Structure 1
């Protein structure tokens, strides 16, 4: 496990600088009170003013500092050294205060278990696929929450992993945490998505990014995710499915629907591409 984690950390370290190069207007956007979260996250999160929020797998901190602009007392956690350095730099440049911790997520959750507890634990987009042990993660989430606290997640729907570039069914439904190695590593999905993931304006930045480090993903189904949360003692309050993706051009030919939403091409039926979960301790 440590070997795969280290390879994933190196792959992310290589990619985050490329991602940040397309978001040169992010600091000014946040400094002016901007919020990078999409409406689905904001709706599921609800009122955050004065609440202690843990943001898991926070990457370079843009969404964490958006939580601060919504009134939260935020802590961001990520295993990438470079992502955390960028997040701390962004905090200084915006004047928005948040705590950023460099740690693998399950280890950090284990370390805070039994402490004061967070009012909200939040994560979004491309989180579950990095978890080798779903049950360990879910138990960690439950242990990090204060009594009555909420877990909120918006994530890509596993159904989308069954599709090829022509929107045809080519792979079985994800299950069991099957490990998949990507020799090409973490890609520059921010650059490939144009302005969809660059609040404050898109900058051309790095071109032709090639990651020298492979990465390892784990394939989990929606039922396994919800089951792990319930098995950890959390009460699932909401499960929502959305026929679009926010911001990222995850598949070729995606059609702009407005508001940053991207749907299937014309002629492809509506299918679940994203889901949201709210659970309470």
Structure 2
């Protein structure tokens, strides 16, 4: 990826963004969170790894980037991003327009089939959910719940130990067919689609086991199922 122009959408705190920059890419990260982008900018300064970070709604940012004729060799999205996308077709269309003629889109995401289960591995949710899912208690502290896989040494800062979110959240659940079809309809060609029987970092269900490298798998003896998937699409 050395020398490539990469756009990282919903980059959060920028660690993955800077990892790409560390390998020589020219990276731009975009996220709606003020706190996340401020952290990312400071991390870039502290580490000496250059990257551009923008605090913006990704739809607004992509539309503006298109008017400025910006193009990227790669567009990258990763881990827990699609639940915040309200319009998947427009999302895919804008990504397609930002890619160079030889550009690629890369997505790594938690598998929607896993979200059919509750935390106790019981079938609970409708796979074909439509519209916004409103959570009155907002986004929970999934970093703390995943312990050492996402938080170094399992240490949780004292101020957020009993975190409660007073702001409701709106989430959207997209099936595999909806994700792939939105990319195809946007003019992209699916080059690879892979499913993985583990989840990187996230241990959102009871009894999950860390098999090394932050890979979380189901409890011993439970039939394996896809917990994560990846898509590579090109122009």
TM-score (norm 2): 0.94
In the alignment, structure 1 residue 82 sits paired with structure 2 residue 35: yes
Mapped contact 1:109–1:143 kept (Cα < 8 A): no
The correspondence of residues 82-101 of structure 1 with structure 2, limited to 5 A, is 82-101=35-54
2 CA distance for matches of 1:93 and 1:185? Answer: 31
Structure 1, 201-210 or 259-268: larger mean CA deviation: 201-210
Aligned length: 232
> Could you say which structure has the higher helix fraction?
1
2 CA distance for matches of 1:227 and 1:214? Answer: 30
Query: Equivalent of 1:133, from 57, 77, 87?
Result: 87
2 CA distance for matches of 1:222 and 1:99? Answer: 31
2 CA distance for matches of 1:97 and 1:202? Answer: 29
Query: Equivalent of 2:190, from 218, 224, 236?
Result: 236
**What 5-or-longer segments of structure 2 have no aligned partner?**
none
Mapped contact 1:161–1:174 kept (Cα < 8 A): no
2 CA distance for matches of 1:250 and 1:280? Answer: 32
TM superposition outliers: structure 1 runs of 4+ over 6 Å: none
TM-score (norm 1): 0.79
Residues 67, 198 of structure 1: alpha-carbon distance in 2 compared, 3 angstrom cutoff:
farther
Question: Counterpart of 2:143?
Answer: 190
1 CA distance for matches of 2:204 and 2:57? Answer: 25
Query: Equivalent of 2:20, from 67, 70, 78?
Result: 67
Mapped contact 1:247–1:260 kept (Cα < 8 A): yes
Shift in Å, 1:198: 3.9
Secondary structure of 1:252's counterpart equals coil
Cα offsets for 1:108-152 (capped at 9, x unmatched): 111112614100000101111111100000001101111110000
**What 5-or-longer segments of structure 1 have no aligned partner?**
1-47
Question: Counterpart of 2:156?
Answer: 204
